[in-house]
Structure 1
Amino acid sequence: MREKLLQLEEALNQLEQYYLIRKGQKEQIEKELLEKEEKLKKLTAERDKLEKTRYLLLVAGQYAREQAKKYLEDIATSTLQYVFGPEISLEIELSERAGANTAEFFVVSDYGSLKVKNRPEDARGGGVVDILSLALRIFLLNAVEPKIKGPLLLDEPGKHVSDEFVSSLAMFLKETSRHFNRQVIMVTHNQNLAGIADKAFLVELKEGVSEVRELNL
Structure 2
Amino acid sequence: MSSKKPGLRQQELSVKLGYACISTSDQDASMQIEALISVGVDPKRIFTDELSGAREAKERPGMKALMDYAREDDDVYFWRLDRIGRSVIDVLNTVNDFTSRGVRLHSIMDNLDPTSVQGRMQLAIMATLAEYERELINERVRAGVISAQKRGVRFGPAPMEESVARERVLTARRLMAEGKTAAHAAKTVGWSKATLYRYMKTYDGAPAPKDAVRPKRAAARSRYVENGTLPARE
**TM-score range, shorter-chain basis?**
under 0.3
More helix by share: 1
Q: Which has the larger radius of gyration?
A: 1
TM-score normalized by the length of structure 1: 0.24
